Amino acid sequence: MILMNRLIVSLDIDDFARAARLIDVLSPEVSHFKVGIAPFVNFGDKLLEKLSLANKKVFLDLKFHDIPNTVKNAARAAAHKGIFMMNVHCLGGRRMMEAAMEGVVAANVKQRPLLLGVTILTSMTGQDMQALGMRGEVQQKVLELAALAKSSGLDGVVASAQEAGMIKQELGKDFLVVTPGIRPTWAMKKEDQRRVVTPSQAIAAGADYIVVGRPIIQADDPLQAVKKIIQELEGVVSEKK
């Protein structure tokens, strides 16, 4: 996989004009963009149209979590939007995840979007899990949810890079791992994220894609920030050879 295609830039921006400008600025180096809940609610169709016209691949990050039939219908509708990747919460359970895949398949689009299961949010710690009545270590719970996602027919999961290697080892190299919570060393302010790693650490751990938002979109020079991340990834690949 081309290194620039392993980077997904998160468009967590509350202004469409700014988001559109950023897409134009980053287009020479970025082929994948993530559209989350806030921008989708604010101006989702306009943003998806802009990305489509720019020939970009979209990770639609809406994290569906509802009763199976509702999620099935939502997944089918999302698949019709020409996206590359989408997700649901693993905590919705097997029937919900299977229904989501049924919806994606029922859309009968030319290129079926990849369907991922969100394991444990990278903003959560073991203490947060305990407050919700979830027992055990974070890594073990992530692996359990990833295994459930795979057995439910999903293509992969969203998980911290801290769990990526374990997931690959247990569930196979073809089971995708997409990792948010990425912070380059030159932008290592965690903010609301907790289980964070650098881009190079994520790729070395086995992540197929990394999702980077604020270190790029809040940078004084977003394109230069992207180039620095890609350069860091190239260093990891060179070391592996």
- The Cα 208–Cα 156 span in angstroms is 10
The number of residues in the chain equals 241
Q: Is the pLDDT of residue 100 over 90?
A: yes
Respond yes or no: is residue 63 known to be catalytic. yes
pLDDT band at residue 3 using 50, 70 and 90 as cut-offs: low
Residues contacting 48, CB < 8 A, separation 6+: 35, 58, 81, 82, 83
- Which CATH superfamily hosts domain 3-236? Aldolase class I (3.20.20.70)
Model confidence at 128, in pLDDT bands (50, 70, 90)? confident
Look up the pTM and report it.
Answer: 0.91
Residues 6+ positions from 45 with CB-CB distance below 8 Å: none
Closest Cα partner for 33 from 82, 89, 71, 80? 82
The predicted structure's pLDDT at residue 124: 82
The token pair that represents 85 in the structure block: 């990747």
Q: What is the pLDDT of residue 13?
A: 95
What is the pLDDT, as a whole number, of residue 240? Answer: 53
The catalytic position among 34, 46, 57, 63 is 63
Q: pLDDT: is 211 or 124 the higher one?
A: 211
Q: For the residues 199-227, what does the mean pLDDT come to? A: 94
Return the pLDDT at 220.
94
- Give the whole-number percent of the chain exceeding pLDDT 70: 91
